[in-house]
Structure 1
Amino acid sequence: MDERTPQTRVTMRVMSDRALSFGASAEAYERFRPGYPPELIELVTAYAGNPIRTALEIGAGTGKATRLFAAHGIAVTATDPDAAMLAELRRHVPAGVTTHRAAFEDLRPRGKYQLVFAAAALHWTDPVRRWPRMAGLLEPGGVFTAFGAPLHLADPALENAVRDARTPFLPSDDIPSPSSPAAPSPSSPAAPSPSSPAAPSPPDQATQWPGPELEHSPWFTDVRQSVITRRLTLTASDYIGHLSTISAYLTHPPARHT
């Protein structure tokens, strides 16, 4: 008997609970989570080389990325396991977007896609089946991209104050990286596989997850990474609202909410 089995099962259950925690805060997620800039779709289409007509989105949430790709004339099928998140998504995306309630592992599409993408959601997928399953969803020569929009406080003093206030209740609000401990959290901009950037990131910047996995994958090639830097200004109330949409807080015992 593998002594690691019980721990593995517990870990997967906890991750599933966090992955399915967002629906309770779907409206706040839509209000407080930042969207994605036009530069993102420009990078993806430039990388693809040919026009992208069809796309499948994994873990679409409230459609922050969905609307960007749909506005570019791409027929997007947006999937998510959470009914509340999909209901919120439908309020904000064009009528041509197809929605389907399902986890990545349960998808049974009738065809394949030119593009598969995941916006701050790839880390919720099953690591054992992730890449062969992803490759099976793509047309030959298709493109996969993963990305996120993490917020980092620019003021070190404020960042320290926020950490000091959080630590007695929650040591960290990050999700452990699916790869090496040294890698950034999975909410960081991920290194897309045959997808993302046409403009590579600086040479001194380490390849972020899932880049290393893709580079060693037999199903993908030409892995690239790019970073789009933005500076946002938020009120204190909006920043707290953003924190309220993070799974670490959503799954925190209600008795400890203040």
Structure 2
Amino acid sequence: MSGRALSFGVVAESYERYRPGYPVELFDVVRAYVGHPLRTVLEIGAGTGKATRLFAQRGVMVTATDPDGAMLDELRKHVPADVRTVRAAFEDVQPGERYGLVLAAAALHWTNPEGRWSRMAALLEPGGVFASCGGAIQLADPAVEEAVRAARAPFLESDGIPSPDGTSPDHPMQWPGTELQRAQWFTGVQQSVIERRLTMSARDYVGYLSTVSAYLVLPAPEREQVLRQIMRVLPDRIEVAADITVHLARRRHEEPDPPAGSARTG
């Protein structure tokens, strides 16, 4: 797991304060795809529980995992007491119990692509559902966006995370849907977008940036300098596009055929 993936614990309280939560529409989209009442959810990379509470508050039994103990400490302050927490990266979650839903909210890109989907399938009941959601927060005003880009440029070319498999931003199916369509364990891949516009203060926007991994891995003096530079070019109030892209897929009931030329074992 990369240093960027493990950079959030030092700002767990700020992450909780400045990162937007998830709307009830996300639960509704997932629930409609599942097609029956959800009983159990395994969440990978749960962070401070932004998505965890959305499901747990609606009677779903959630097991929230994260590799960072500080993030889980913050999560426990905000979720129902019956949420089970496990300190583990996705790759270290032990198969055994199977879940009706495995959820990754703004977290899947931190996982190891090697064996990702067979590992995911091992955690799901036959017919169970995998859900991934996330999306960048983007300044709605192009002039403000350009001013921020110029302020950031001496320190960072970009503060985003490129598509893990190189999918073009204008492709009709975005990652991880592109991978799921090729994964033999999964079927019924769907992509949808929950559109959101949020208004926040300049200070809160810079607070949000202070929790973004691209800034967190900068040396502290540079991080403080670039955030000050950005603060100077922002108006008092800003509007952001905070759309959430949702990918859903269902684990096949049957075991997939082994690759050509290989023998089934076990």
- Coarse TM-score class (shorter-chain normalised): 0.7 to 0.9
Segments of structure 1 that go 5 or more residues without pairing to the other structure are 1-14, 185-204
Q: 1:81 aligns with which of 60, 67, 86?
A: 67
Shift in Å, 1:175: 1.6
Q: 2:163 aligns with which of 177, 181, 206?
A: 177
SS state at 1:252 partner? coil
Partner of 1:139: 125
Compared with structure 1, are the counterparts of its residues 96 and 118 closer, same or farther at alpha carbon in structure 2 (3 Å cutoff)? same
Shift in Å, 1:181: 4.9
SS state at 2:190 partner? coil
| Structure 1 residue 104 corresponds to structure 2 residue 70 | no
SS state at 2:139 partner? coil
Q: 1:227 aligns with which of 185, 193, 199?
A: 193
* 1:167-246 map, 5 Å: 167-183=153-169, 206-246=172-212
Q: Give the distance between the partners of 1:108 and 1:171, measured in 2 at CA.
A: 38
Q: RMSD of the alignment, in Å?
A: 1.2
Q: Give the distance between the partners of 1:181 and 1:116, measured in 2 at CA.
A: 23
Q: Give the distance between the partners of 1:164 and 1:98, measured in 2 at CA.
A: 44
SS state at 2:214 partner? helix
Partner of 1:118: 104
Shift in Å, 1:110: 3.6
Q: Do 1:116 and 1:145's aligned partners in 2 also have CA atoms closer than 8 Å?
A: yes
CA offsets per residue over residues 200-240 of structure 1, 9 Å max, x none? Answer: xxxxx711100011011100000001100111001000000
* 1:50-65 map, 5 Å: 50-65=36-51
Partner of 1:44: 30
Q: Do 1:34 and 1:149's aligned partners in 2 also have CA atoms closer than 8 Å?
A: no
Q: Do 2:136 and 2:160's aligned partners in 1 also have CA atoms closer than 8 Å?
A: no
SS state at 2:199 partner? coil
Is the strand fraction higher in 1 or 2?
A: 2
Q: Do 1:54 and 1:74's aligned partners in 2 also have CA atoms closer than 8 Å?
A: yes
Compared with structure 1, are the counterparts of its residues 28 and 16 closer, same or farther at alpha carbon in structure 2 (3 Å cutoff)? same
Q: Give the distance between the partners of 1:38 and 1:136, measured in 2 at CA.
A: 28
Partner of 1:4: none
Q: Give the distance between the partners of 1:143 and 1:181, measured in 2 at CA.
A: 23
Segments of structure 2 that go 5 or more residues without pairing to the other structure are 226-266
Q: Give the distance between the partners of 1:106 and 1:49, measured in 2 at CA.
A: 30
Q: Do 2:167 and 2:174's aligned partners in 1 also have CA atoms closer than 8 Å?
A: no
Partner of 1:194: none
State which drifts further: 130-139 or 170-179. 170-179
Q: 1:32 aligns with which of 5, 18, 27?
A: 18
SS state at 2:178 partner? helix
Partner of 1:66: 52
SS state at 1:223 partner? strand
The share of aligned pairs that are identical, in percent, is 65
Q: Do 1:183 and 1:209's aligned partners in 2 also have CA atoms closer than 8 Å?
A: no
Q: Give the distance between the partners of 2:52 and 2:131, measured in 1 at CA.
A: 13
Shift in Å, 1:109: 4.5
Shift in Å, 1:148: 1.0
Residue 2 of structure 2 aligns with an amino acid whose one-letter code is S
SS state at 2:193 partner? coil
Runs of 4 or more consecutive aligned structure 1 residues displaced over 4 Å after TM superposition: none
Rg (Cα) greater in structure = 2
Partner of 2:8: 22
SS state at 1:18 partner? coil
CA offsets per residue over residues 124-169 of structure 1, 9 Å max, x none? Answer: 0010121110011000000000001421111000000000000111
